Amino acid sequence: MTGRMSLPLATHAYGDHPPTMPPADPARGDAAAVDPATRLAMYRMLQRTRQFEKRAYDLFMRRLVKGTTHLSLGMEAVATGFGTAMRADDYTFATYRGHAHTLARGVPMTPILAELLGRANGLLGGKGGSMHLTSVAHGVMGSYAIIGAHLTIANGAAWSAQYRGSGQVAVCFFGDGTTNIGAFHEALNYASIFRLPVVFVCENNLYMEYTAIGDVTAVPRPAADRAAAYRLEPQVIDGNDADACYLAALDALERARSGGGPSLVEAVTYRHGGHSRADPGKYRPPGEIEAWLGYDPVTLYRDRLLRLGVEDAVLGGVEREVAAEVEQATREAIDGPLPSPDSALTQLWADGGSQWRN
Amino acid sequence: MTTLTLAKALNEGLRRSMEADSKVLVMGEDVGKLGGVFRVTDGLQKDFGEDRVIDTPLAESGIIGTAIGLALRGYRPVCEIQFDGFVFPAADQIITQLAKMPLRSLGHVKLPVVIRIPCGGGIGAVEHHSESPEAYFTHTAGLRVVACSNPADAYSMIQDAVRIDDPIIFFEPKRRYWDKAEVDLSAPGLPLDRARVVRQGDDVTLLAYGPMVKTCLEAAAAEEGRSIEVIDVRSLNPLDSGVLAESVRRTGRCVVVHEAPVFNGYGAELAARLTEMCFYHLEAPILRVGGFSTPYPPSRLEDHYLPDLDRVLDAVDRVFAY
Ligand SMILES: Cc1ncc(C[n+]2csc(CCOP(=O)(O)OP(=O)(O)O)c2C)c(N)n1
Ligand SMILES: [Mg+2]
């Protein structure tokens, strides 16, 4: 080949990145200072998000979820920990992978599931779908499917809270891949110089879609290694440990509320399934999935609660209650009416319609 | 003759381009190891190496900016934007730099960058994944904008696009990626800037490009009584207006069909231009059929949104009602 050139990526050991394996000791977080009632509530939320996501997957495979769906299976501890720590009037900004984050703010299951199924009884009347879950009443200020966009939007919401002196905080979730788009960097700098009450939570699940994050990122820790550039503390937490997420959230929220400015938290986690739809996730090296399945956030937490003396029957009761909740939501979602064709033409303008006007 | 899907035809075309010129690079998110979400670049990294088929970070502005820099120094990057709605983070690079640098450098720089964009709806993939953003780019002077509609054209058009020294926005109708047809891998195709009459007729001219060409052909076949001519515009900018005007003067009636919203859509330009060129031959105003002026709807509603045979034939009826 003539004119062979050398690009930076040419020297990059493609596909050879060191697999990031989960921590070896699952009991290491047992002593965290989290009270029993909160722990039980978090276990319920872990179960709700887990069982919801499994059901969403089943319904997708039954072709009842049209379009696409991105699940948080394996990543539920992040939404659970942060959702539990947040104040009812705080803001959440989620991504297309936002079912868990929406549930974690108290939005009931039925409207979320019905929205996934595109039904008229969905959270957004079937017009938003899986990727755009929004519930202003619950502080869920949207789920965003264009990578990076919502980090700057979260800054705006945080700024509004700062203007009002309301003490509210905007919590913005995004993935590892997002740290490479310009908007991430613009948003961090902005938040830092204006000391905005915003918490950026990078859910580092080691993959940007089908590409290992290490193959396309200059530093090993996609978020934390960038923090210094914006005068922020580098923070890496165990994203599979709900207690760790909860405590990190309390800390960051408190800093933001008291005028201490933004935080950037990198929560290392792993998605059990593929990126979206029925992606089998075959691009992942052998052993990696198994290792992470052995460090599952739900089992990890259940085992912890047992070690801490919670009775198995109590946990079993929570699991059964959540299962019943999921069954009921499924029935209500499937029985929901399809949106009328006319609904394609509503809500374009503030008057609710889509009439062309002079 | 070989039977190929549209996606595979693009893949074969890219392969030929890469074989013919070692300066041709392919870059984008997941284009290498995975072969792209629609597998258009399948196997290219394996055969041409990681230097030439590059898995980029998630950064559309960065992808196009980098491609511009490579093109400035003699490379010929073919960038994949994964889905239509993801091109907007790159808008500044495309509109402000790519389209304008050749002119403002007095032609001292050439930017042979191809930006491939899977476009349009019909696969149940909602907003950001189903859009038809062509008018943003046809409105920008300095960009060639083309759309392929079938495997044979896909094969020749992508090779032409890579060879040409202008920046090119290359639209691929994603719901037609799996359509199969015979492709002659050795025959030269129709030049990139030409429109093609894909069905001859006498009574009315349908103008379409990309995914709507097939819809119009089906509508023409379904119509009883009237003889419908269908033209695949292929090159939106520059426009092969002579072929279009010849047809419209002959039939005296014209309907423009695209998936994008009608309001300020590319069809408005076609209608205005052909009205100027064919005014005294027209029996009726040129009508437009397109998506509603709303954001692209979720999948359960997309059948209502997308122009179908009925909407096309209804417009045909209306041009005869004048
Ligand atoms: C601007 C833009 N480019 C590309 C995409 C397509 N896309 C959707 S998700 C994704 C990967 C995101 O990875 P990451 O930020 O790590 O989040 P994860 O999906 O792993 O949660 C890509 C490339 C998009 N949605 N937006
Ligand atoms: Mg990721």
- Is residue A18 pLDDT above 70, yes or no? no
- Using the CB atoms, write b or e for A75-104: b if 16+ within 10 Å: bbbbbbbbbbbbeeebbbbbbbbbbbbbbb
Q: What three-state secondary structure class fits B29?
A: coil
Give the integer Cα–Cα distance in Å for B203 and A211.
Answer: 53
Contact A146 B55 (CB under 8 A): no
For a pocket test of ligand 1, which of A151, A205, A208 has the largest count of ligand atoms closer than 8 A to its C-beta? A208
B200 and B101 within one domain? no
Q: Which residues contact A34 (CB under 8 A, 6 or more apart)?
A: A42, A243, A246, A247
Comparing CB atoms, the residue among A182, A210, A343 nearest residue B30 is A210
Q: Which residues contact B61 (CB under 8 A, 6 or more apart)?
A: A181, A182, B89, B90, B92, B93
Give the DSSP letter of residue A60.
H
Give the integer Cα–Cα distance in Å for B66 and A134.
Answer: 35
pLDDT of residue A13: 37
Contact B305 A131 (CB under 8 A): no
Residues around ligand 2, an ion, CB closer than 5 A: A 175-176, 205, 207
pLDDT of residue A357: 60
Amino acid type, A114: A
Amino acid type, B97: Q
Q: How far is the alpha carbon of A116 from chain B, nearest alpha carbon, in Å?
A: 10
Amino acid type, A333: A
C-alpha dihedral, B226 to B231 to B232 to B236, nearest 10°: -130
Angle at B259 between CA B189 and CA A130, to 5 degrees: 120
Angle at A322 between CA A320 and CA A324, to 5 degrees: 70
Mean pLDDT of chain A: 91
Question: Kind of pairing, strands B144-147 and B180-183?
Answer: unpaired
Give the integer Cα–Cα distance in Å for B22 and A50.
Answer: 49
B142 and B221 within one domain? no
Average pLDDT on B37-66 reads 96
Question: Kind of pairing, strands B114-119 and B76-80?
Answer: parallel
What percentage of chain B has pLDDT greater than the value 90?
94
B135 and B16 within one domain? yes
B215 touches B32 (CB < 8 A): no
Atom of ligand 1 nearest to the CA of A75: 21
- Would residue B188 count as lying in a domain? no
B67 and B11 within one domain? yes
B169 and B90 within one domain? yes
Confidence of residue B253 (pLDDT cuts 50, 70, 90): very high
Q: Among B153, B183, B213, where does a domain finish?
A: B183
Structure-model confidence comparison of residues A15 and A341, the more confident one: A341
Q: Where do the H-state alpha helices sit in A165-237? A: 182-193, 224-227
Give the integer Cα–Cα distance in Å for B80 and A40.
Answer: 47
Give the integer Cα–Cα distance in Å for A123 and A107.
Answer: 9
Q: How many CA atoms does the CB half-sphere of A260 hold within 13 Å?
A: 13
Give the integer Cα–Cα distance in Å for B292 and B276.
Answer: 26
Amino acid type, B273: R
Give the integer Cα–Cα distance in Å for B96 and B106.
Answer: 16
Q: Among B158, B183, B208, where does a domain finish?
A: B183
Of B229, B225, B301, the C-alpha closest to A344 is B301
B240 and B128 within one domain? no
CATH of the domain at B82: 3.40.50.970
- Ligand 2 center–CA A261 separation, angstroms: 26
Domain coordinates in residue numbering, chain A: 36-217+262-332
Q: Which ligand is nearest to the CA of A131?
A: 1
Interchain CB contact of B305 with A (< 8 Å)? yes
Average pLDDT on A286-310 reads 94
Q: Which residue of B has its CA nearest to A356?
A: B293
Q: Which residues contact B75 (CB under 8 A, 6 or more apart)?
A: A5, B23, B24, B25
B94 and B30 within one domain? yes
Average pLDDT on B145-174 reads 98
Interchain CB contact of B178 with A (< 8 Å)? no
B211 and B147 within one domain? no
Give the integer Cα–Cα distance in Å for A65 and B255.
Answer: 36
Q: Whole-prediction pTM value?
A: 0.89
B212 and B72 within one domain? no
Of B215, B237, B31, B206, the C-alpha closest to B140 is B237
pLDDT of residue A222: 94
B316 touches B289 (CB < 8 A): no
Structure-model confidence comparison of residues A73 and A344, the more confident one: A73
Burial of A1 (0-12, 13-18, 19+ CB in 10 A): exposed
A67 touches A130 (CB < 8 A): yes
pLDDT tens, position by position, A304-334: 999 999 999 999 999 999 999 999 999 999 9
What distance, in Å, lies between the first and last C-alpha atoms of chain A? 61
Angle at A330 between CA A113 and CA A326, to 5 degrees: 90
pLDDT of residue B61: 94
Atom of ligand 1 nearest to the CA of A271: 20
Helix (H) or strand (E) holding A235: strand A235-238
Residues facing B199 on adjacent strands? B230
Give the integer Cα–Cα distance in Å for B69 and A8.
Answer: 14
B126 touches B120 (CB < 8 A): no
Which pair of structure tokens corresponds to residue A304? 């912890």
Q: Ligand 1: list residues with CB < 6 Å.
A: A 97, 145-147, 174-178, 203, 205, 207-209, 275; B 29, 58, 60, 82, 86, 89
pLDDT of residue B4: 98
Give the integer Cα–Cα distance in Å for B111 and B88.
Answer: 20
Coarse DSSP helix, strand, coil percentages of chain B, rounded to the nearest 5 percent:
40, 20, 40
- Is residue A298 pLDDT above 90, yes or no? yes
Q: How many CA atoms does the CB half-sphere of A138 hold within 13 Å?
A: 20
B135 and B9 within one domain? yes
Its domain, for residue B279, covers 196-321
Amino acid type, B167: P
pLDDT of residue B41: 98
Give the integer Cα–Cα distance in Å for B218 and B197.
Answer: 15
For a pocket test of ligand 1, which of A147, A179, A221, A284 has the largest count of ligand atoms closer than 8 A to its C-beta? A147
pLDDT of residue A9: 32
pLDDT of residue A3: 36
Q: Which residue of A has its CA nearest to B55?
A: A216
Please give the positions of B annotated as active site: 129
Give the integer Cα–Cα distance in Å for B66 and B77.
Answer: 9
B19 and B164 within one domain? yes
Give the integer Cα–Cα distance in Å for A350 and A326.
Answer: 35
Average pLDDT on A126-151 reads 94
* Selected residues 1-60 of chain A with any CB under 8 Å from a CB in chain B: 1-7, 9-10, 12, 14-15
Residues in chain A, how many?
358
CATH number among 3.20.20.80, 3.40.50.970, 3.30.950.10, 3.40.470.10, domain A36-217+262-332? 3.40.50.970
pLDDT of residue A66: 85
Q: Among B124, B154, B183, where does a domain finish?
A: B183
- Would residue B315 count as lying in a domain? yes
Amino acid type, B177: Y
Comparing CB atoms, the residue among B23, B74, B292 nearest residue A344 is B292
Helix (H) or strand (E) holding B255: strand B254-261
- Ligand 1 center–CA A178 separation, angstroms: 7
B317 and B236 within one domain? yes
Give the integer Cα–Cα distance in Å for B249 and A56.
Answer: 55
Interchain CB contact of B174 with A (< 8 Å)? no
A74 touches A272 (CB < 8 A): yes
- Is residue A17 pLDDT above 50, yes or no? no
Which pair of structure tokens corresponds to residue A66? 């049209």
pLDDT of residue B99: 95
What percentage of chain A has pLDDT greater than the value 90?
79
In the numeric block, the tokens 């820099």 are attached to: B69
Q: How far is the alpha carbon of B116 from chain A, nearest alpha carbon, in Å?
A: 18
pLDDT tens, position by position, B72-109: 989 999 999 999 999 999 999 999 999 999 988 888 88
Mean pLDDT of chain B: 96
pLDDT of residue A356: 67
pLDDT tens, position by position, B166-181: 999 999 999 999 999 9
Q: How many CA atoms does the CB half-sphere of A64 hold within 13 Å?
A: 19
Interchain CB contact of B30 with A (< 8 Å)? yes
Number of domains making up chain B: 2
Is it true that the peptide bond before B238 is cis, omega within 30 degrees of 0? yes
* Number of C-beta neighbours around residue A325 at 10 A: 18
Of A96, A107, A174, the C-alpha closest to A136 is A107
Confidence of residue B32 (pLDDT cuts 50, 70, 90): very high
CATH of the domain at B304: 3.40.50.920
